[in-house]
């Protein structure tokens, strides 16, 4: 099993969409890319911790490739929106890929460059691609939120 970490706006929907994929055994909503340890949702919402709402995916590389996960990531949000996603505004909703090793870093950057060159978007792709430093799982009530409550997310 391998791990991959993505931020694409409100993590409720991101987690839900990754769970649909064959080869993905788990998806955890959490916080990545910030400066404080063990942040709370409220702290992250303030925009002052630097974290993005992120989802850490556990997957079987024999069933689904990292490249396919990255394609799914780009296909299910708008990577041209800077520091927002739909109605959710703030750096905590930025588009980001937090990579776990050099191979992921290279694959994510290549996918972003291909997408940017494809002409699919009129505006620049602003997705941040950086090595993951730490991932903090979010509070329990954020996990499987869409399954429990239905979707309240923009996309």
User: Is residue 10 part of the contact set for ligand MHO (CB under 6 A)?
Assistant: yes
* Minimum gap (Å) between residue 52 Cβ and ligand MHO: 10
Out of 30, 34, 53, 111, the only residue in the binding site for ligand MHO (CB under 6 A) is: 53
Out of 88, 105, 121, 151, the only residue in the binding site for ligand MHO (CB under 6 A) is: 88
- For ligand MHO, the closer of residues 12 and 74 by Cβ is 12
User: Is residue 78 part of the contact set for ligand MHO (CB under 6 A)?
Assistant: no
User: Is residue 6 part of the contact set for ligand MHO (CB under 6 A)?
Assistant: no
* Minimum gap (Å) between residue 92 Cβ and ligand MHO: 7
User: Is residue 152 part of the contact set for ligand MHO (CB under 6 A)?
Assistant: yes
Q: Among candidates 152, 154, 95, 153, which has minimal Cα distance to 129?
A: 95
Is 10 among the residues known to form the active site? yes
List all residues 6 or more positions away from 45 whose beta carbon is below 8 Å from its beta carbon: 90, 92
Active-site residue (options: 4, 7, 8, 10)? 10
- For ligand MHO, the closer of residues 71 and 88 by Cβ is 88
What residues line the site for ligand MHO (CB under 6 A)? 10-12, 53, 88, 152
């Amino acid at each position: 099993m391998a791990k991959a970490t993505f931020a694409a706006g409100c993590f409720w929907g991101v987690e839900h969409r990754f769970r649909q994929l064959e080869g993905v055994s788990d998806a955890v909503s959490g916080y990545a890319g910030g400066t404080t340890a063990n942040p709370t949702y409220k702290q992250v919402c303030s925009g002052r911790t630097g974290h993005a709402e992120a989802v850490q995916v556990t997957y079987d590389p024999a069933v689904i490739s990292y490249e396919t996960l990255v394609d799914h990531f780009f296909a299910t949000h708008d990577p041209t929106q800077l520091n927002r996603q739909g109605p959710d505004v703030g750096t905590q909703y930025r588009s980001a890929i937090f990579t776990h090793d050099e191979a992921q870093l290279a694959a994510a950057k290549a996918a972003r460059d291909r997408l940017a060159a494809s002409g699919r978007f009129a505006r620049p792709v602003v997705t941040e691609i950086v090595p993951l430093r730490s991932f903090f799982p979010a509070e329990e009530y954020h996990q499987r939120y869409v399954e429990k409550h239905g979707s309240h997310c923009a996309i």
